[in-house]
Structure 1
Amino acid sequence: MKSAWIVFIEHIKNAYLIKRLAEFQLRISNHNNYLGIAWELINPAMQIAVYWFVFGLGLRSNNIMEGVPFIYWLMVGISMWFFVNQGVLEGTKAISSKFNQVAKMKFPLSIIPSYIVFSRFYGHIGLLIIVMLLCLVGGYHPTIYTLQLLLYIPFALILTMAISLVTSTLGVLIRDTQMIMQSLMRIIFFVSSILYLPTNETVLTVMNFNPIFFLAEGYRAAILHHEWFFITHWHLAVYNLCLVTVLFILGSILHMRYRDHFADYM
């Protein structure tokens, strides 16, 4: 618990630094592109169009999903995935790619994956606003249930940071971590309710252990279904809260145990 407390305090003390570094990272990651930061929205839009064409129009003939047209159901459910996926994959290689830049500085290494993740958070907020506007055009107006997003959005951020804290340390110790996480994130994507909802109870039970399932259904409940998802499915809320806590503690222990030796592994 001491390691978790140290990492937590480092994040609190350097919250402003995380924000500034995230903004700088966002600029430099797009400065070579003609459209710049617009790609943070264009790329997800293109992927959504492909998923809708294949899974919605091609396989499901654009059928209704949970009382909602498939395109809206898909857009809301997948809106947080682009952030979580990019955040985890880039957070995994954060320390190994940035270590040499801060090796000779008195710099809190634990915030490196966090500011990399946070740099992707801006794109998520922009995409979510556009998705909500499209849903508004489709007749899905904001209600009091939409306030649930104030829980799910921070949870998506904290979950991604917690995972990245674990994987960024492993990425220094085990160079295959990046490839492992790429494969694992593909599995997590398809074993979630982003593209479909299974009728098989066994498959659905397995999906419940996937935090992406909780986020996708939570976003849909807030924007489309008008349901207090975290209350009606309180057991999932408790499970995911415990999962994030365990990931943060585990990541903190690993980070504090090895960060004085990162230079030896690089």
Structure 2
Amino acid sequence: MNTMFKTIGEQFANFKIIRRMARYDDRATYQSHYLGLAWEFLNPLIQIGIYYLVFGVALRRGDPMPGIPYLPWMVTGIAPWLYMNKTTLDASKSVYQQVGLVSKMKFPVSVLPSIKIAGNLYSFWTMMAFAVFLMFTNRIWPSISWLQFIYYFLCMMVFMYALGIFNSTVSILIRDWHITLQSILRMLFYMSGVLFNFVGSNFPPVLVRILEVNPFYYIINGMRESLLSRGWIWQQPNINLTITFWLFVFIFMAVGTYLHNKFRSNFVDLI
């Protein structure tokens, strides 16, 4: 527990470093491209267009929620998914990509996943602004339930760091882990309710309950229900899913910070 609180404290103590390096990281990634940082926003928008053409038009999916058109419903879910997918993969390789920085100077290694988490937020907010635009064009107006979005956003940040500190350490100890993680995320994409609503569908109730335990689903569905005014945190089964979600976060955070603090002095040798 002490190592977990110590690692969390390092994030707040080095907040300015995280923010500054996140901006630099984004610029360095796209500095050789003609459109530069515009690709940070164009890539997710292109993916949204492709998924809508396939699932919303070609497959002629109906309204996933009563009175909610497919496009705004899909975008409010795919925006957090694209952010979490990219951030999970980027954070998992954040330490061994910066081995030169770690070896040449005294640097708080635990903030490296946070830099990726902060850097990817620019595209996330762009996608969420697009989602709000689609809601307004479909006459879906703000309500008091929008305040819940703040809670689910904080859930996403904490969950991303818990995964980041865990995956970045395991990726050094097990070099195949990053590739395995890519396969796991491809599978979770279809198990997180991003493109279709399996609640109230023809899925067996037991299977639906298993799919709802997915922490990615908790965040995606929570943001969706908040913005589309379809539910509250304290309602069943949301309260049970909330307990399960934070249990997942605690386990990843506790194990991740323990492994990180145990092996961080040997990161350079392991890499």
TM-score range, shorter chain: over 0.9
TM-score (norm 1): 0.95
Of 214, 220, 232, which aligns to 2:218?
Answer: 214
Offset of 1:130 from its aligned partner? 2.0
- Within-5 A mapping of 1:80-95: 80-95=80-95
Structure 2, unpaired ranges of 5+: none
> How many angstroms apart in 1 are the aligned matches of 2:165 and 2:159?
10
- Within-5 A mapping of 1:31-180: 31-59=31-59, 61-67=60-66, 68-180=68-180
Offset of 1:94 from its aligned partner? 0.5
TM-score (norm 2): 0.93
> How many angstroms apart in 1 are the aligned matches of 2:104 and 2:40?
33
Offset of 1:112 from its aligned partner? 0.7
- Within-5 A mapping of 1:193-232: 193-198=193-198, 199=201, 200=203, 201-229=205-233, 231-232=235-236
Offset of 1:230 from its aligned partner? 5.0
SS at match of 1:75: helix
> How many angstroms apart in 1 are the aligned matches of 2:52 and 2:231?
25
SS at match of 1:80: helix
8 A Cα contact 2:101 2:107, kept in partner: no
Q: Which amino acid aligns with 1:112?
A: L
Structure 1, unpaired ranges of 5+: none
> How many angstroms apart in 2 are the aligned matches of 1:203 and 1:197?
13
Q: Which amino acid aligns with 1:207?
A: L
Q: Does 1:254 align with 2:259?
A: yes
Q: Which amino acid aligns with 1:69?
A: P
SS at match of 2:228: helix
Q: Does 1:263 align with 2:260?
A: no
SS at match of 1:36: coil
State the match for 1:189 in structure 2. 189
> How many angstroms apart in 1 are the aligned matches of 2:121 and 2:253?
19
| Residue range with higher mean Cα deviation, 194-203 or 77-86 | 194-203
After superposition, the C-alpha distances for 1:94-144 in whole angstroms (9 at most, x for unaligned) are 100002123121111011111112111222122212211221121111111
After superposition, the C-alpha distances for 1:26-61 in whole angstroms (9 at most, x for unaligned) are 1111212222222122111111111111112222x1
8 A Cα contact 1:163 1:248, kept in partner: yes
Stretches of 4+ aligned residues off by more than 6 angstroms: none
> How many angstroms apart in 2 are the aligned matches of 1:55 and 1:41?
22
- Tell me the percent identity: 28
Count of aligned residue pairs for this structure pair:
265
